[in-house]
Structures are given as C-alpha cells and as structure tokens.
Chain A
Amino acid sequence: MSESKEVEMVLPISYPSPGAMGKTGIWRVFKPVIDLSKCIKCWQCWLYCPEDTVVMEGDHPKIDYEYCKGCGVCKEVCRAGAISMIREGG
C-alpha cells in the first residue's frame, strides 16, 4: 500500500561467493567418481564443470562433493573414460 513516488533502485544483482545457495551437494543423485589410474590430466572436467567444483589438487583433479550437483558434465567431457557416475546411497 506504499503510495510513495520515491524511486529506490532494487537491482537483481548479487556478488558471487562460495556456496551462496547452500550445500548444493545434497541435490546430487549420481556422484562422479574419478579413477585416477585412467586420468590423463587433460583438465577438461575442471574446465567444463558448471559449478567450479572440480579443483586441481597437486597434479590431479579432485571433486568437491560439498557442492558438486551431480550433473555429469565432467563424465561426458572426459575422453579417457576416467569418470563414472555412481548412484548415491546405492
């Protein structure tokens, strides 16, 4: 019931921060698991992960399961077939 004519900009802008939407790892149904013995360190998974949850640990990729949503993009782009999607709680 505000009849004020005053203009106040409320913008749909936010500044990104880790886990702004909470621990999105709980959304996961399938969990990507890297078989490091097959990994050729091409970093495609790191590049393509839409959630930035593949991190470089030393010389190999590692998935941060707190935030990985289980979309499977990393598995699709892994040419070495090093990533398998395993059902959670299975």
Chain B
Amino acid sequence: MGEWKLINANQAAAHAARLARAAVIPAYPITPQTTVVETIEEFIHEGIMDAEYIRVESEHSAMAAAIGASASGVRTFTATSSQGLLYMGEVVFWAAGSRLPIGMVIVDRAVGPPWNIHTDHQDAMSQRDSGWIQMFVSSAQEALDSVITMYKVAENPEVLLPFMVCIDAFILSHTYMPVNVPDQAEVDSFLPTYRPPHWMLDPDLPVDMGNLVMPMEDYMEMRWSIHTSMEKAKELLNQISREFAERFGRDHGGLVKAVDLEDADVAIVSLGTLSSEAEYALKRIDTAKTGLLKVRMFRPFPREEIIKLLKDKDVVVVLDRSISFGHSGPLAMEVRSALYGIDEAPKVVNFIVGLGGRDVTYKDIVSMVNFAIKVPEDEVFPCYWYGLKDRIRSLRLKGVI
C-alpha cells in the first residue's frame, strides 16, 4: 500500500502534514527548512490539501498564529530552523504552557555567528526545557512516519503537548531517498480528527489563556502537569509506534531503537543521522563487540530504556552533534545522569563531533570507538572534541588512531 516516491525529508514532512490533514499552516521561510512549507503550498495550490496557509512576517508570528489556530481546535503544522527557532523561542514556551498539540519540523541547522546553514543540533537543544516533545529521526521515511505518529501521541487527552520532529539539515532535508507515502485512507484510520478534550476558543464561551497567576495559585501545579504528561508521552509513544508498525509495516523503534546491542560490550549512543552512520560503522569495528542505541526521543528522555539497555555495558560512546559550552554534549549529560548510581556503571565517553555540518563518516566513528575503549577507567568525565583542525592542536586522539 502507499506509493513509492523519490523525495527528500523536507518533502516527506510536507506529505506528513498533508496526510495528517493539518488545517492551518503558518509559514515563514528559512534555509534549509523552506522547502517544507513550499511543498505544502504547492499541495494546497494543486488542490490536494485543504488548509489555511498564512504567510506570516516572522517565526515569532508563525508560532503565535499556530497557537491561535490550535486553540481554535484544529490540527496545526509549521516548520523552522536555527535562528528562526531562536526567534520563535518565546512563543515556543507559550505553545507548551497552553497545552496545544502543535506539530513542527525542525530542520536542525547550526546557530550563528558565524552564519552556517549546515547541520548541528544546537538549535533544538536550546529548546530542550520548553515543554515540547522532541524526536530525532534518521531517514526521510522516518520523518514522514514520525510526524503522523507524534500527532497521535501529542493529541492524547493525557498529553496535550506540542512536538518537534528534528531532521538533520541537508543530510536529510535535501537528500532524495525512496519513501513510501501512505494512502490518505490508511492515515485517516490511524489518526482520528483532532478534538480538543478540554476547551477551545469559542466566541460563545470566552476563555482567558495564560492569565496572571500568583505564587500561591496554580503555576507550580501547571508545571507538574506538563511534567506528568511528558512521562505519559513515553508510555504512549512506545505503544503508538508499535501500532504504527503493525498497520504500516515499518518499525522505526519507540523512544529508542537498539541495533545489535544485546550481547555487545560497547554501545554507541547518538541522535539523528549520526545513528545511521554509526549503524554502518558497526560491522567495521573489530576491537570489541559493539552495538548501537539510537535515541529517537530526547524529551521526554528515555531514562528507563537507557538504564535497562546500557547498564551492563563496559563502555558507552556518546556522539553529540552539539555542545553545551562549559560542560559537555547534551546527550552525554543525560546518559551519564541516567546511569549514575548503578553498580559497576559503564564508562561513558563523550565525543563532540560534526558541529556546523562537519562531516562524520563511519571511519571516524570506528576511530572514536577504538579510542574510547582505551580511555583509562579513572579518567574523570571524558569528553573529547573529535575532528578539530590540526592547527588547534586538537586531536588527543592522534597517535592513538
């Protein structure tokens, strides 16, 4: 079923918005996201998608319009990247705080200065604590399937939180791959029409959204409510992903996807396309039995899976395409904190790689794993920058590899 097309992840995301019957699309262009909203505009123009398309004047307005649309009770979709997401930032928090299940694709791009349009996860990481569900994908097919799956998770009456599906710039956004585009009827039977369970904007019953609260009123309770819904989203994502796999015959995993992990001594942990490169690297590592844990959902964070699948490993190699300046890679921080306090916890070795789109090949990943195995047990908080230019001294890895 469905139809095979040769498309890139941006077009796949646009198909997902169409198939999900998103009814309002506030659109503002930014490289490398632009072709997501451009493709949607073409669908509307061709008459194969029925949606209100709003050409807004900025990303801040895009999210403000999405909030208004979603609050009026319709499924809403937009997309952005990098500086656009940062400019949108204030209203990104409002969307989550207002409990509106808006869908957004982030085409992850480096943050300036200096200007750089290539992939880097720092844009998405900057919104980590916004209350949005964050999913990272590693193929165009996974992008399409995840947008549809995530609407079902986000619109659940016990979740009601917005979600972002994060796509690596160019590596996914502009690379053409065979993608199975499902039939409308298949998607309709999986994803029901969105009906807000609690309230919506209605002139006959006016509501105030986000009114002032005093410290003794419900602010803290609302934060707690978002947090518990995030925990609920974990359970639902695993369940709904299984349902998706059964219906559509494609299994991308749930919160995480493990590859050859069961009897491995070494585990690679990564997000986005680094995972597909790491999967390719696995067969070329001959120094230790190595498996891969692809983290799909970053918020809520799959700590239970991390503990269960990694606690018995000797070495965990975490690849971060992002840096939290003055500390380490964001994924490594989370993995370390999940494993803290476990008896004979694995040694976690973090590599900062591929910032601003610098290429990371399977050969690099093989080198990093070989290096990580030799990092002494007593080294505190190992975190290395891999792939810096020689002139900055960099590679402590040199000589070893």
Name the interface size band of chain A: 10 to 19
CB-CB nearest in chain A for B158: A7
Known pairs A5-B231, A7-B229, A7-B232; A12 contacts B210 (CB<8 A): yes
B197-228: which have CB < 8 Å to A? 198-199, 205-213, 218, 221-222, 224-225, 228
Tell me which of B98, B212, B221, B222 contacts A21 (CB under 8 A). B212
**Which of these, A5, A9, A13, A14, contacts B225 with CB under 8 Å?**
A9
Known: A2-B224, A14-B211. 11 other contacts (CB 8 A): A4-B228, A8-B228, A9-B225, A10-B218, A11-B99, A14-B208, A15-B206, A15-B207, A15-B208, A20-B208, A20-B211
Chain A residues close to B by CB (< 8 Å): 2, 4-16, 20-21
Question: In the complex, A77→B228 CA distance in Å?
Answer: 47
Selected contact of B198 from candidates A4, A5, A11, A15, CB within 8 Å:
A11
B: contact size bracket: 20 to 34
Instruction: Kindly provide the distance from the CB of B348 to the nearest chain A CB, expressed in whole angstroms.
Output: 26
Nearest B residue to A17 by beta-carbon distance? Answer: B208
Chain B interface residues toward A at CB < 8 A: 97-99, 157-158, 160, 198-199, 205-213, 218, 221-222, 224-225, 228-229, 231-232
27 example contacts (A-B, Cβ-Cβ < 8 A) are as follows A2-B224, A4-B228, A7-B158, A7-B231, A8-B225, A8-B228, A9-B99, A9-B157, A9-B158, A9-B198, A9-B229, A10-B218, A10-B224, A11-B99, A12-B98, A12-B99, A12-B213, A12-B222, A13-B207, A13-B208, A14-B207, A15-B205, A15-B207, A15-B208, A16-B206, A16-B208, A21-B212
Chain A neighbourhood of B208, CB < 8 A: 13-16, 20
Nearest-Cβ distance from residue B70 to partner chain A, whole angstroms = 14
With A4-B228, A15-B206, A16-B206 already in contact, the answer to whether A9 and B160 are too (CB < 8 A) is yes
Binding site of B, secondary structure by majority: helix, strand, loop or mixed?
Answer: loop
| Nearest 10 CB-CB pairings of A with B | A10-B225, A7-B158, A10-B221, A14-B208, A10-B222, A12-B210, A7-B228, A14-B211, A7-B232, A13-B207
- Measured between C-beta atoms, what is the minimum distance from B41 to chain A in Å? 33
- Find out whether the CB atom of B224 lies under 8 angstroms from the CB atom of A11: no
> Inside 8 A of A6's CB, which chain B residues have their CB?
228
User: Which A residue sits closest to B230, measured CB to CB?
Assistant: A7
A15 surroundings in chain B (CB, below 8 A)? 205-208
Partner of A5, one of B98, B99, B228: B228
Question: Once the chains bind, are B198 and A12 in contact (CB under 8 Å)?
Answer: no
On chain B, the residues within 8 Å of A9 by CB distance are: 99, 157-158, 160, 198, 225, 229
Tell me how far the C-beta of A2 lies from the nearest C-beta in chain B, rounded to whole angstroms: 7
Distance in angstroms between the alpha carbons of A20 and B206 in the assembled complex: 14
A5 to B235, CA, bound (A): 11
Select B209's contact among A7, A13, A21, beta carbons within 8 Å: A13
CA distance A62 to B57 in the complex (A): 38
**A12 and chain B: residue at smallest CB distance:** B210
